[in-house]
Amino acid sequence: MEIDYVNENIGKKIRDLRNRNGFTQQELADRTELTKGFISQLERGQVSPSVVTLLDLIECLGTTASEFFKETEEEHVVFSEEGFFEKVDEAGNSIQWIVPTAQRYQMEPLLVTVQPYQSLFEDKPHDGEEFGYMISGRLTLYLGDKIYQVKTGESFYYPAKRKHRIENPDSMPAKFIWVSTPPTF
């Protein structure tokens, strides 16, 4: 039974690679000096190829044995609050990493709450860009020597090449989504 699963898995991977390369079963058979019937049976998990035949198929399909047998982890698309990581500073400001694995990607989304009359650390100039969307409250954005006011329903976006800082000038907490690219936190 386990061999059937292995054959089906190999067959599925061969079929997926063949389709990705735009080959028909006949074209793959011709390239590997196999029969179309063998390719069909292989893709349905009905036969097991020899190691030499499998390596030849993998090479003809433009990949390597290590890539072919690499276990792919299932793509994680939806994240729940249980997986969030939160850091709260001494002033009670909260930064939540709402995509726990974001350090591996090109952008890092955060859910940030800045307490009344508090500010976040000043960020030195760095590569990348930053985007924010105000969920509630108000912020003052210090960007280089310019000052911007951002209120509920507004967004901000800037290249991070100048020093920047965010402050809550209000008596209510300010809550916003903050996305940095590349991840810096």
3-state secondary structure of 40: helix
Helices 25-32 & 51-60, crossing angle to 10 degrees? 120
Fold type of domain 2-69: 434 Repressor (Amino-terminal Domain) (1.10.260)
Q: Which residue has the higher pLDDT, 135 or 70?
A: 135
Mean pLDDT of 65-69: 86
**pLDDT number for residue 70:** 82
Cross-strand bridge partners of residue 109: 179
**pLDDT number for residue 3:** 46
**pLDDT number for residue 106:** 85
CA separation for the pair 122, 165 (Å, rounded)? 5
Confidence band, pLDDT 50/70/90 cuts, at residue 116: very high
Tell me the torsion sign for CA atoms 132, 128, 93, 79.
positive
Confidence band, pLDDT 50/70/90 cuts, at residue 6: low
Residue that the structure tokens 């997926």 belong to = 16
Please, where in the chain does CATH 2.60.120.10 lie? 81-181
DSSP tag of 102: G
Mean pLDDT of 55-76: 83
Please, where in the chain does CATH 1.10.260.40 lie? 2-69
Task: Check whether 43 has a pLDDT greater than 80.
Answer: yes
Distances (CA, A) of 27 to 33, 39, 48, 84, 117: 10, 10, 20, 49, 69
Mean pLDDT of 89-117: 90
150-177 pLDDT, tens digit per residue, is: 999 999 999 999 999 999 999 999 999 9
**pLDDT number for residue 2:** 45
**pLDDT number for residue 76:** 76
CA separation for the pair 63, 169 (Å, rounded)? 57
Nearest to 140 by CA among 158, 114, 162: 114
Task: Check whether 122 has a pLDDT greater than 80.
Answer: yes
Instruction: Classify domain 81-181 by CATH number.
Output: 2.60.120.10
Confidence band, pLDDT 50/70/90 cuts, at residue 72: low
CA separation for the pair 40, 80 (Å, rounded)? 42
Task: Check whether 20 has a pLDDT greater than 70.
Answer: yes
Its pTM surpasses 0.75: no
Total residues belonging to the chain: 185
